[in-house]
Copies of this chain bind each other. A is one copy, B any other.
């Protein structure tokens, strides 16, 4: 098993999910050791939900799983980049393609683009 440094962030590492085709950053989340091992074992991005305090297989509810194409580890082993294929097109629970859909410019924030799915439909299951 490839070792990461889970000590610097209280048992977690930071994980950046990036579209493997376009390079767009889709979301940032965290993994504990169990989530990291599950990601390696399954090839599906698996995070640790800090709010729910449990393993979070991305897409388990929505069907919008993330297929891991490549994993990059940073210099000090406390952060990773997952290059992923985002099933369903959108990573964000708001229906947007990316969680990073708000642009900060000249002291104000504007939403960029439109949702590509209806969260009410996707999460009603």
Residues A72 and B101 in contact in the complex (CB < 8 Å), given A1-B107, A2-B108, A14-B28: yes
The answer to the question of A22 belonging to the interface, with a C-beta cut-off of 8 Å to chain B, is yes
> Which bucket holds chain A's interface residue count?
35 or more
Residues of B within 8 A of A28 (CB): 14, 16, 28, 74, 79
Name A8-29 residues within 8 Å CB distance of B: 8, 14, 16, 18, 22-25, 27-28
In the bound assembly, the distance between CA atoms of A22 and B24 in angstroms comes to: 10
Shortest CB–CB separation between residue A8 and chain B, in angstroms?
7
Chain B residues, CB < 8 A from A25:
16, 18, 25, 72, 81
- Distance in Å from the Cβ of A4 to the closest Cβ of chain B? 9
**A114 part of interface (Cβ distance < 8 Å):** no
- 8 interchain residue pairs of minimum CB distance: A23-B23, A72-B100, A71-B104, A74-B99, A28-B79, A73-B102, A75-B99, A81-B100
